[in-house]
């Protein structure tokens, strides 16, 4: 009932919600539309599963809140989902109704509120089902329990303190679970909420932060890195920005150094936050102090400790628990572990283990912990490859590349050679036009072993990213395959 009570209290006062142009939505309109949506869902779809495929604005949020208050399972989707992906999702789950812009607009114009007539059927144990990309090409439906989401909201609020005067900029699409960190803090603190229209135009995002006087953002490392570009910084004023949650992808060493050098870190709260979708958005958090001794080890930035209600262990390939500084797979337990993948018993058996009478999710991340019990992510286990018989982790190569002061970003992939060997290829973005592949290899030779130095280094203007702002290595691989 925690979420239900929080949402009810939210609508007892004036809400400060703004559209993607920064205009305040009148509170009476928000309240009226919310009551219509809630009334419609309660009377017709209380026992059903609802999909949401709306434009990213306040109405998407209203539908999510109505589902959470009523205990209806919702499936967040993106308007840009191709028909084939929607069909795949509908094959996995019976969707009773899909909210689309036109149908919702019609509902809000024609629907009459039936006063106080709401179904009192029991809540679903599941809060939402979110679909993630699968290795087979078919999306996997991750079912998250209501108690898991409630724990996440409470636990995140213990770590990140805001108040009603704070201004949140909703950057992530609602089909990306990172958006729930914004919703969690909005529900908990009743902050002012703005909706970003950012679509990879970093100047647009910088403009929104400055003009709306944003104090809080939650986004992926790549977006932060672009905001810290020298040209963007010269044109922008980020003085109101007080709290940054950086997650959804490994915190790059180059970004850490850039934040330390350029951003007024002594005046801001910057958090490295980590967690798989299967464990309810985020599971670990670290407030970065910008003391390298406190924040980093082996060029990896700490993800800190588990959130309250979450457990972590690191195991070897036989699932024996490892000790301090030993590399192994990170397992996550506790209340935030998913109920399971929808209609996928084989994947459930592969992903969830029962150790010592507890359920543990296999993150697939290579990690270690230090003598203080803080956790560090090295990279994906499947990012470890063998080069000339030696184990090499692609993220390690990127970490070392980014120690070179002229390299802004990097992404390393493998290429299959004719002799069935693999070789390394790195794409890099530099801040110096005089830098060449030869110079980079020369400088790497002083910090890496010969087999760790990429066979080829390609200088590019920027790394490709997917719709969630994460570096897309598939695109990089395809660009090389076309040339071959």
Residue in the block written with tokens 């805001």: 162
Q: Determine, yes or no, domain membership for 399.
A: yes
Residue-range definition of the domain harbouring residue 453: 388-483
Element (H, E) at 347: helix 345-351
pLDDT tens digits for range 303-360: 999 999 999 999 999 999 999 999 999 999 999 999 999 999 999 999 999 998 999 9
Two structure tokens written together for 112: 């009459």
Higher pLDDT residue, 265 or 111?
111
Alpha-carbon Rg for the chain, nearest whole angstrom, is 23
Give the pLDDT band of residue 371 (cuts 50, 70, 90): very high
CATH number at residue 399: 3.30.300.30
φ, ψ at 29 (rounded to 5°): -70, -45
Q: Determine, yes or no, domain membership for 451.
A: yes
Beta bridge partners of 365: 380
What pLDDT is stored for residue 471 in this prediction? 86
Parallel, antiparallel, or unpaired for β 422-430 and 456-459? parallel
- Using an 8 Å Cβ cutoff, are 67 and 165 in contact? no
What pLDDT is stored for residue 276 in this prediction? 92
Q: Determine, yes or no, domain membership for 429.
A: yes
- The mean pLDDT value of the chain amounts to 90
Residue 33 pLDDT greater than 60, yes or no = yes
What pLDDT is stored for residue 135 in this prediction? 47
285-289, 351-355, 464-468: least confident range: 464-468
Q: What is the mean pLDDT of residues 114-118?
A: 58
Number of domains in the chain: 1
Parallel, antiparallel, or unpaired for β 167-170 and 216-219? parallel
Q: Determine, yes or no, domain membership for 245.
A: no
Q: Determine, yes or no, domain membership for 250.
A: no
- The one-character DSSP state at 383 is G
What pLDDT is stored for residue 420 in this prediction? 53
Q: Determine, yes or no, domain membership for 43.
A: no
What pLDDT is stored for residue 360 in this prediction? 98
What is the separation of C-alpha 248 from the centre of its chain, rounded to a whole number of angstroms?
A: 3
Residue 266 pLDDT greater than 80, yes or no = no
pLDDT tens digits for range 127-152: 999 988 654 447 789 999 999 999 99
- Using an 8 Å Cβ cutoff, are 107 and 40 in contact? yes
294-298, 366-370, 389-393, 466-470: least confident range: 389-393
Q: Determine, yes or no, domain membership for 28.
A: no
Q: What is the mean pLDDT of residues 247-267?
A: 80
Residue in the block written with tokens 């993800």: 303
pLDDT tens digits for range 182-212: 999 999 999 999 999 988 789 999 999 999 9
Q: pTM of whole model > 0.75?
A: yes
Q: Determine, yes or no, domain membership for 447.
A: yes
Residue 124 pLDDT greater than 90, yes or no = no
Give the pLDDT band of residue 390 (cuts 50, 70, 90): low
């Amino acid at each position: 009932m925690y979420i239900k009570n929080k949402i009810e209290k939210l609508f007892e006062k004036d809400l400060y919600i703004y559209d993607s142009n920064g205009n305040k939505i009148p509170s009476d309109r928000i309240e009226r539309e919310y009551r219509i949506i809630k009334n419609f869902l309660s009377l017709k779809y209380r026992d059903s599963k609802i999909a949401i495929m709306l434009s990213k604005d306040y109405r998407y949020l209203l539908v999510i809140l109505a589902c959470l208050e009523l205990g209806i399972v919702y499936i967040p989707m993106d308007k840009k989902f191709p028909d084939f992906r929607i069909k795949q999702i509908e094959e996995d789950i019976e969707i009773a109704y899909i909210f689309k812009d036109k149908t919702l607009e019609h509902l809000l114009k024609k629907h009459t509120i039936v006063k106080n007539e709401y179904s009192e059927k029991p809540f679903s144990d599941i809060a939402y089902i979110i679909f993630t990309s699968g290795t087979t090409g078919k999306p996997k439906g991750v079912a998250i329990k209501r108690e898991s989401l409630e724990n996440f909201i409470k636990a995140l609020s213990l770590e990140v303190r805001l108040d009603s005067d704070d201004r949140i900029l909703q950057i992530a699409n609602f089909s990306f679970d990172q958006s729930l960190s914004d919703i969690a803090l909005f529900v908990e603190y009743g902050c002012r909420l703005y909706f970003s229209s950012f679509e990879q135009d970093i100047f647009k995002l910088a403009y929104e932060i400055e003009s709306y006087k944003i104090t809080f953002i939650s986004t992926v490392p790549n977006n932060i890195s672009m905001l810290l570009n020298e040209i963007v910084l010269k044109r922008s004023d980020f003085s109101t920005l007080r709290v940054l949650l950086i997650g959804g992808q490994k915190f790059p060493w180059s970004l850490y150094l850039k934040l330390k050098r350029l951003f007024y870190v002594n005046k801001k709260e910057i958090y490295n936050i980590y967690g798989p979708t299967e464990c309810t958005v985020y599971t670990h958090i670290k407030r970065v102090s910008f003391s390298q001794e406190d924040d980093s080890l082996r060029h990896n930035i700490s993800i800190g400790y588990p959130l309250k209600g979450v457990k972590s262990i690191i195991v070897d390939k036989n699932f024996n628990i490892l000790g301090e500084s030993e590399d192994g797979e990170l397992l996550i337990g506790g209340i935030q572990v998913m109920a399971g993948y929808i209609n996928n018993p084989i994947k459930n058996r592969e992903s969830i283990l029962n150790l010592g009478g507890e359920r543990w999710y296999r993150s697939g991340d290579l990690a270690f912990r230090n003598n203080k019990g803080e956790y560090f992510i090295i990279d994906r286990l499947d990012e470890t490859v063998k080069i000339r018989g030696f184990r090499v982790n692609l993220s390690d190569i990127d970490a070392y590349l980014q120690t070179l002061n002229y390299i802004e970003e990097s992404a390393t992939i493998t290429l299959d050679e004719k002799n069935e060997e693999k070789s390394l290829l790195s794409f890099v973005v530099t801040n110096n036009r005089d830098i060449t592949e030869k110079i980079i290899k020369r400088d790497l030779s002083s910090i890496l072993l010969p087999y760790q130095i990429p066979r080829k280094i390609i200088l590019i203007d920027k790394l490709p990213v997917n719709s969630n702002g994460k570096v897309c290595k598939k695109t990089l691989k395809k660009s090389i395959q076309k040339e071959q």
